[in-house]
Chain A
Amino acid sequence: MSSMTTTIVQLAYLAASLLFILGLAAMNRTETARRGVRLAEAGMLLAVVGTLLHHDIVEYQWIAIAVVIGAAIGTAMALYIPTVKMPERIALSHAFGGLAVALVGVAELLRHGAALDELALTAVGLEVFLGAITFTGSLVAFGKLQGMLPGRPIVWPLQTAGNLLGVVAAAALIAWLVAAPASSPPPAVTIGLVVLALGAILGVTLVVPVGGADMPVVICLLNAYAGLAASATGFALGNNVLIICGALDGGSGVILGVMMSRAMNRSFRDVLFGASKAGAAAPTKAQTSTSLAAAAAVATLDDAADVLRGASSVIIVPGYGMAVSQAQHAVRDLAAALAANGATVRYAIHPVAGRMPGHMNVLLAEANVPYDQLHDLDDINDDFEATDVALVIGANDVVNPAARTSPSSPIYGMPVLAVEKARATIVFKRSFDPGFAGVENELFTLPSTMMVLGDAKKSLAGLVGQLRGADEARKAA
């Protein structure tokens, strides 16, 4: 009977693993993506029901209470968190994932202690360590995104050395956990708790130095840690579905992180340990913004409307500023007004625009922009030359020509959108303050560039009013 149940549980796990992989595979096209989510949901249901049949589970009341509370919180978060807060939600969910895994690891040590075999102890050690890093690291990332912690990089002496020392110490502790005989003090749980504490501290010291603009890579990295921690749990429990899901999640985090770093022409290592470089560049900030203000052509909404009325092709380049001012609906309205005027309107999406992979796409989808108007960097970058107007909305580093022209620039080599090649460029920007990295942007001072300062949402709404007004006046005449 018991072996029969085990077989059923294992078959349920196998089916669940296949459903997860098929579900992710269906996310390669927009048309099939929702079906993919259905498949993955079915997989999760199978895995959970299968586990509840497991002979190790003898009492259900705490499980029931925890599931009800978790489901209520999860549903509320899914329904009420606005789309602009998506990076924050992802960061929080990485924190929950890390917490769950770390606690399961500690519980394993409490249940079996040093009676676990060597591999299981190694896996539990890694699980607790990675889970704790993911938990506190994601909370710091959340705090930075939410503005509760300063978004700029925070640096201190011997930062990198300290972090490396922490990693080495954790490795030594895990080795001790594995090697110490079961009978000798301290008990395995105590060592596990020290590893947990060390991981929690490292999570903070690894993410605090990272600047806001590097957030997309950090979010991917935390995603990878969460996945690897889940895989470690799988090794500790001898559970294949956990190993597989952890590998899928971890792999996805690494792939997205590599894509993001490539789009910024930086390596993982640079993002993690490069904060001091960006910090050193920051003092020139005040000086930069005054000289910039003198050289740039500040335009009024009337000027911008005049240029746009004559445009037959427009490319819109959104950035993090669009998310901050929640201007995605105003952007869509402006695009509609331009289209009504006979212009073709497209969007150019840089991979690292915003604070997480795909951030701009989701915001524009929310504003009802059809996705066939959204174009990747490589697809659209050659089209700026034949374009009348490029509209830059709250983007900075991703349109900085210095990345192509100035080898001394900190962002040299990063692939950027060539907005300056359009006949005219209109930049919507809150102020002349440079971005987090403190990098000067010569785009703002080019003769073909107009700067419209102020809140993007208000500026865009004003422009829409002017364009529609002109439209109606023409109809009346």
Chain B
Amino acid sequence: MSVTTIMGLYVFALALIVGWRVISHVPHLLHTPLMSATNAISGISLVGSLVAAGSGHGGVTTLLGAIAVCAATINVVGGFLITDRMLKMFRRRPEVVR
């Protein structure tokens, strides 16, 4: 295995542990916003899609890349917006309406 691979496995293992600790502390109350937030973050596959769409390889590669960019952007933009929209609704005291 190359050094890059080993480094990749280091990063993966450490990120799993950090993620496990961090996410275990999110209360049940916020699990739906948590899911949509991690969903937005996993839209990071946009990074890979950008390379595929912009590498100038032409034809099918560019088309697949562009579709991937579109799908990942939907998740990034939509995911962050909807997470914030949900979190805005959580209040300790009811808002005075009517």
Do A and B originate from a single complex?
yes
A96 touches B50 (CB 8 A): no
Option from B22, B31, B75 in Cβ contact (under 8 Å) with A21: B22
B73 contact set on A, CB distance < 8 A:
66-67, 69-71, 74
B43 contact set on A, CB distance < 8 A:
44, 97, 100
B45 touches A97 (CB 8 A): yes
What total count of A-B pairs have CB within 8 Å? 364
A99 touches B80 (CB 8 A): no
- Give the secondary structure class of A's interface: helix
Which residues between 27 and 57 of chain A lie within 8 Å of chain B, taking CB atoms? Answer: 27-30, 33-34, 36-37, 40-41, 43-44, 47-48, 51-52, 54, 56-57
- Asked if A383 is an interface residue, CB under 8 A from chain B, the answer is no
B36 contact set on A, CB distance < 8 A:
86, 89-90, 93
A349 touches B28 (CB 8 A): yes
Interface readout for A104-116 with B: 1 if CB under 8 Å, 0 if not?
1011101100000
Which of A145-153, A353-361, A388-396, A402-410 is found at the contact surface with chain B? A353-361
B59 nearest CB across to chain A (Å): 9
- Asked if A324 is an interface residue, CB under 8 A from chain B, the answer is no
A48 to B77, CA, bound (A): 12
A251 to B38, CA, bound (A): 10
- Asked if A20 is an interface residue, CB under 8 A from chain B, the answer is yes
Interface readout for A349-380 with B: 1 if CB under 8 Å, 0 if not?
10100001111011001101111101010000
Option from B72, B86, B90 in Cβ contact (under 8 Å) with A97: B72
Chain B residues close to A by CB (< 8 Å): 1-2, 4-5, 7-8, 11-12, 15-16, 18-20, 22-57, 60-62, 64-95, 97
Residue in B5, B20, B44, B61 whose Cβ sees the most chain A Cβ within 10 Å: B44
- Asked if A231 is an interface residue, CB under 8 A from chain B, the answer is yes
**With known contacts A28-B27, A96-B71, A366-B89, A47–B1 Cβ distance under 8 A:** no
B77 touches A246 (CB 8 A): no
A117 touches B41 (CB 8 A): no
A48 touches B54 (CB 8 A): no
A220 to B51, CA, bound (A): 29
B40 touches A51 (CB 8 A): no
